[in-house]
């Protein structure tokens, strides 16, 4: 969605019109990388007193329209606060993300008027329906270019196999090999293989296998000194990829005390693009789901 210069049947505060003689509206939008995802920080600047009063009274809100043409992603963020934060998941966008800031009526405004109107509108009143635009800011375009060579999008550092020990009925993790070996009991591996062909089930598989395996590996690394981490694991592929990912995506060196202070349960989920939410959605929307309600 691109903001185009347009005329409204009522006064709208914008940089390209003189409908208001006083005040201005715009928004600063900062993007901060949060692992594979992005944190969007919004800060609105509104100097029109009459519109500020409308927001304070609950008649209007700041609205940010986000749209990525390449992926079809589209969402709207509403807030009555000058500052707002939103987490943008990397799988939803790729390429240019357009963000359009508005002030929008959230209630019907009958007899809408303002002393800030241009002199030509003084004494005029307007009936504004909920959802109508009251102010328009400048569109911001962010270039969200994804790097597909990461833990979340490649199976390069994991190898999920059947445990040859038939007496073992638990998942085991071996980090001594070139890849992180996830060994499943015989029946579990058979079920895993059947689900692996379903792309929509990948989030469930990652939640059940990769996330706990990463928690284990990260915990084992923390038990080693920074020098031992490099000495014991530098020859493995998984350590090189994990070290690079933590450095470039999370601004954390694996051979540092900063690494020791991380929450590994949270980090493990972020490293594979937070699969838990998608897993729950898949389960709830599956044909066998009862909707979570008791009969």
* CATH number of the domain within which 93 lies: 2.60.40.10
pLDDT of the residue at 196: 83
- Same-domain status, 127 and 171: no
Higher pLDDT: 145 or 14? It is: 14
User: Which tokens sit at 206?
Assistant: 């990652």
The boundaries of the domain holding residue 197 are: 158-284
- Give the mean model confidence (pLDDT) for residues 127-155: 78
My answer on whether 138 and 235 are in the same domain is no
- Same domain for 138 and 173, yes or no, is no
What is the H or E stretch that residue 63 is in?
Answer: strand 60-68
Q: Are residues 131 and 177 in the same domain?
A: no
Residue 125 lies in a domain: yes
Number of domains in the chain: 2
Position 6 in a domain: no
Q: What is the pLDDT, as a whole number, of residue 295?
A: 43
Q: What is the pLDDT of residues 146-160, one digit of tens each?
A: 654 556 554 568 989
209 part of a folded domain: yes
Residues 127 and 207 occupy one common structural domain: no
Does the pTM surpass 0.85? The reply is: no
Domain shared by 121 and 190, yes or no: no
Residue 44: which of 21, 68, 20, 60 has the closest Cα?
Answer: 60
Is 186 within a domain? Answer: yes
pLDDT tens-place string over residues 223-276: 999 889 989 998 898 999 999 889 988 889 999 988 999 999 999 999 988 889
Same domain, 46 and 113: yes
**Inside any domain, residue 291:** no
Give burial (CB, 10 Å; 0-12/13-18/19+) of 23. Answer: middle
Residues 206, 266: one domain?
Answer: yes
Q: Could you tell me which of 230, 227, 216, 223 has the C-alpha nearest to residue 264?
A: 216
The answer to whether residues 129 and 191 belong to one domain is no
Residue 67 in any domain: the answer is: yes
Tell me: do 106 and 166 sit in the same domain: no
- 165/120 same-domain check: no
């Amino acid at each position: 969605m691109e903001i185009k210069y347009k005329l409204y049947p009522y006064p709208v505060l914008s940089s390209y019109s003189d409908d208001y003689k006083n005040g201005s509206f715009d928004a600063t939008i900062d993007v901060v990388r949060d692992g594979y995802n992005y944190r969007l920080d919004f800060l609105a600047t509104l100097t029109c007193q009459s519109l500020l009063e409308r927001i304070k009274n609950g008649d209007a809100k700041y609205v940010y329209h986000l749209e990525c043409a390449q992926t079809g992603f589209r969402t709207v963020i509403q807030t009555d606060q000058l500052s707002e934060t939103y987490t943008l998941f990397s799988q939803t966008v790729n390429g240019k993300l357009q963000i359009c800031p508005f002030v929008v009526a959230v209630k019907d405004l009958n007899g809408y008027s303002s002393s800030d109107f241009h002199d030509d509108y003084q004494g005029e009143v307007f009936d504004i329906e909920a959802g109508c635009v009251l102010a328009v800011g400048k569109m911001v375009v962010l270039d969200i270019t994804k790097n597909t060579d990461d833990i979340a999008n490649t199976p390069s550092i994991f190898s999920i196999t059947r445990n040859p020990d038939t007496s073992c009925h638990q998942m085991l993790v071996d980090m001594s090999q070139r890849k992180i070996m996830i060994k499943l009991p015989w029946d579990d591996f058979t079920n895993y293989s059947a689900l692996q062909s379903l792309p929509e089930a990948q989030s469930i598989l990652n939640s059940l296998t990769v996330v706990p395996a990463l928690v284990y590996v990260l915990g084992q690394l923390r038990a080693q000194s920074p020098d031992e981490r490099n000495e014991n694991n530098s020859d493995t592929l998984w350590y090189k990829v994990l070290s690079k990912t933590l450095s470039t995506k999370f601004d954390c060196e694996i051979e540092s005390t900063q690494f020791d202070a991380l929450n590994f349960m949270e980090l493990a989920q972020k490293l594979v693009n937070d699969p838990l939410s998608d897993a729950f959605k898949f389960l709830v929307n599956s044909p066998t789901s009862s909707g979570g309600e008791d009969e």
